[in-house]
Amino acid sequence: MKRTLRIATVLMLLVMMLTTAVSASSSYATYTYSSDGFVLESPDAYSVDTVVDATYMGVQLAKPTDIEVGPDGRVYIADADANSIVILDNYYKYQYSITNFVNEHGVPDSFQNPQGVFVSKDFIYVCDTDNSRIVMFDLDGNFKKTVAQPTSNLFEEGAIYRPVAIAVDAYGRMFIVSSTTYQGIIVMGDDGSFFGFIGAQKVTASGAMDWLWNALRSSADTSNEDEYVSREYNNITIDSENFIYVTTSTIDEDVQQANISSSSGEYAPVKKLNAAGSDVLRRNGFFAPSGEVHVSTSQTATIQGASTIVDAAVGPEGTWTIADQKRSKVFTYDAEGNLLFAFGDLGNMRGNITRLAGVTYNGDSMLLLDSSNATFTVFRRTEYGDILLNAIRNQNLRNYGSAEDDWKEILKRNNNFDVAYIGIGKALARDGEYREAMTYFKASHEKEGNYADAFHEIRKEWASKYFIVIPIVAVVALLGIAALFGYAGRVNRRAALRVGTKTIKEELLYSLHLLLHPFDGFWDLKHEKRGSLRSAFIILLLTVLTFFYQSIGTSYVFDGKSVEDYGSIYSSILSVVVPVVLWVVANWCLTTLMNGEGKFSEIFTTTCYSLTPLILFVIPSVLLSNVLVPSEAGIVTLLTSVGWVWTGLLLFTGMMQVHGYTFGKNFIACLLTIVGMLIIMFLAILFSTLMVKIVSLISNVWIEISYRV
C-alpha cells in the first residue's frame, strides 16, 4: 500500500512538473520579413517576464479596454465593464481605483463604459465614452474637471460624440478619437475649446458602407451593439516630440493588403500625424508598417485576411509598436519604417494572448493587454533586444563606429537581419568606404536608396579623376556606330549590284539596311534573296544572347539581382524562341486562309530580321545601367522602349511586304495573329495537362496491377 502511494505521489509530482514546464513555455516565434516576403526567424527581442492576473494585481478586472504607463511608472487600466480606472504601482500591484467621484457641480458622478485613458505628468484623462465627455483627475485620483462634448458647426446635426481614445501633447491640447466621428481626430483644449479636425482618413468602400449603416441606425441599436463599432480611427498615442500615432481598422482588408508595399499612407492602418494633420510616417522598409505581410484568404485557414490594428505604442529611440488583434501579435518598427521584429500568438499558453486590446512600454518592458482574460503580460527586453536598441541609439547619436560594432554583434546572433546590414553599410558610407558599404547594402537587398547613393559617390569620385575619358568614350562610340553603318552601307551597295548567292556577312549587314529602309528592304529580302534562313537563325541566336546578357549584365541598382538570382541561358531561349515560333506558326496558319503570299520560311526570316533593333538597343541599355543611378533610369527605359517599338514597326512592315497586304488588311492579320498565339498556347497547355493525367492514370494502373499480380 505504501509503495503504491509513493508511486502515485512521484507520478503526481512528474505531472505537476510537466504542466509547469508547459505553462512556462511560449509557442510564439519572433521573426522579420525578407525583401521578397519570406519569414525570417530571429532571436527573441522580448521574452515573457510576468503574466499579471487578478491574484498578482490584487484586484479582479472585468473587461479592460486600454492600458497606459504614466511618467511615474504606474500602470493605468481602463475597465469598461467595471466603469473604473485601475491604478497599479511600479510592481504591478493594486493601489486604488477611480470609480465614483464628485463632479464640479458637487453632484456624485461615475463613468459609463470608459474606453480609454491617458496620463500626462500632471493629469489622468479618461474617455467616459457613453457619457460623451473627457474626465480629468490629478495623479492622486482627485477629480479636476470634465470636458464636455465640443460644440461647433463643423459637427453634423445630430452627430453622436463617443470618445474612445485620447492623447495630450506638451501644450495641453487634447487629441480625441470618437468612434462615431468620421471627419478625423478631434482637437480640443482642456477648457473645452474646439480647435478643429485633423488627419481625416480617406474612406474605402467598406468604411463608407459601415458609416452609412451606423448613420441609419437608431441610437438604441448602436448602444446595444458592443463589439461592432464603425469608426475612422480606433486608437491614438503621442511621442515626446508631439507627433501623433493613430490606428484604424475600418479600411477594407483587400485594399489594406494591396497597399502593403506602398510608401503612401492613403490606406495605411497606422499613421504618424504632425500638428497640421499631415501623415509624416516613414515607410522605407521592404513593406509598409501594416502588420502581417503574407496573409491567407483561404476559407480553410484559421485566420484570414489583413491585420486588424487596434493600438500603437511609442518605444525608446524612435521605435514604435502596433498591435494586431486578429492574430494577437505585435510588430515593432524603427523610425524609418523597417520591421525590427514581430512576435505573439493566439492561445492560453504563457506568453500568448486570447484577445489583444492594447500595448504600451514601461522602461525596458512591453505590456500587452488581454481583454478576454482580464490580464496583461509583461515582456522584458532580452540581451538581443538590448544590443539592437543600443545600435539604434548609437546610430541616432551619430556614433557610427559604435553602431557598426553593435550591428555586427546583431549579425552574430541573427545573420538574416537586413536592417543590421543596412546599418553597417551606412556606417561604412559615412566613413567614405563606399565599395564595402555597397557590399552590405547588397546583402540586405537594398538598392534604390543607400546602395544607389554609395554607387553615386563612387561614380562621382571616378568622374572627377577621369573626367576627360567620358567625352572621349562618347565620341569614340558615336564614331564607331557611324563607321559601322557606313561600312554596312558600302557592303550592301556592292551586294545589290552583284548577282548570285550572298555571303553570310552581306546577309547579316543587310539587317542594318532594313532599319532605315523597311519597305523596299523587306521587298528585296523576299524577292532579291538578300537574306536567308541561316542568317535568320544567327540573328535569332544573337537576340537570345542579348537577353541573356541583359539578365546577367544589368546593374544591381536596376534589377536588384544578386549573382545567385541570374537567369539561365535556357530561360533566355524560352523567352525569345517561344514567342517567335508562336508568331510564325500563327501568322502562317492565318494568312494561308487570308490569301497571304508569304511562305513559312519567308515569315520566319522576316520575323528574325525584325529583331535587329532589340540587339542594337538592349545591349547599350545594359551597359549604361552599370554607370547610371535610379534617378537616371529614364535613359535606360528609353533605349529599351525604342528597341521594342522599332522591332514592332519592322515586324508590321515586314508582314505587309511578305504577304502583299494593304495597311488595313495587314493590321487585321496582325491582331488575329496575336489571338492565334493565345489559342495555340491554350491548346498546348490543355494538351500537356491531358498528357500528364494520362501518364498518371497509366502509372497508377500499372502500380495497381503490380500490387495485385
CATH number at residue 271: 2.120.10.30
Lowest mean pLDDT: which of 115-119, 461-465, 588-592, 610-614? 461-465
Residue range 368-374: average pLDDT? 93
Give pLDDT, residue 214.
54
Q: Helix H segments across 397-503? A: 400-413, 418-430, 434-443, 450-465, 469-497
Does 34 have pLDDT greater than 90?
no
Does 211 have pLDDT greater than 80?
no
529 and 594 together in one domain: yes
Does 72 have pLDDT greater than 50?
yes
pLDDT bracket for residue 158 (50, 70, 90): low
Backbone φ and ψ for 286, nearest 5 degrees, come out as: -65, -35
Give pLDDT, residue 626.
87
319 and 404 together in one domain: no
Residue range 589-596: average pLDDT? 89
437 and 361 together in one domain: no
Does 146 have pLDDT greater than 70?
yes
pLDDT tens profile 257-302: 888 888 887 888 999 999 888 999 999 888 999 999 888 766 656 7
357 and 239 together in one domain: yes
Q: Does residue 479 form part of some domain?
A: no
Give pLDDT, residue 223.
42
391 contact partners, CB below 8 Å, separation of at least 6: 403, 406, 407, 409, 410, 420, 423
pLDDT tens profile 94-144: 999 999 999 999 999 999 999 999 999 999 999 999 999 999 999 999 999
296 and 416 together in one domain: no
Give pLDDT, residue 210.
53
349 and 409 together in one domain: no
pLDDT bracket for residue 26 (50, 70, 90): very low
399 and 376 together in one domain: no
pLDDT bracket for residue 51 (50, 70, 90): very high
Give pLDDT, residue 663.
92
pLDDT bracket for residue 699 (50, 70, 90): confident
Give the residue from 352, 340, 442 showing the smallest Cα distance to 387: 340
Give pLDDT, residue 706.
78
595 and 656 together in one domain: yes
Range of the domain at 558: 496-691
pLDDT tens profile 488-517: 888 888 877 777 778 888 888 888 989 888
d(CA 8, CA 15): 11
Q: Does residue 481 form part of some domain?
A: no
pLDDT tens profile 321-332: 999 999 999 999
Give pLDDT, residue 204.
52
pLDDT cut 90: percent of the chain above it: 50
- The structure's pTM equals 0.76
Q: Does residue 269 form part of some domain?
A: yes
Give yes or no for a contact between 84 and 99, defined as CB atoms under 8 angstroms apart.
Answer: yes
Q: How far is CA 19 from CA 23, 293, 346, 378, 430, in A?
A: 6, 35, 19, 21, 53
Which among 339, 357, 381 is the end of a domain?
Answer: 381
Does 8 have pLDDT greater than 70?
no
d(CA 119, CA 238): 11
Number of domains in the chain: 3
pLDDT cut 70: percent of the chain above it: 89
Residue range 649-664: average pLDDT? 92
345 and 450 together in one domain: no
Backbone φ and ψ for 347, nearest 5 degrees, come out as: 140, 180
pLDDT bracket for residue 256 (50, 70, 90): confident
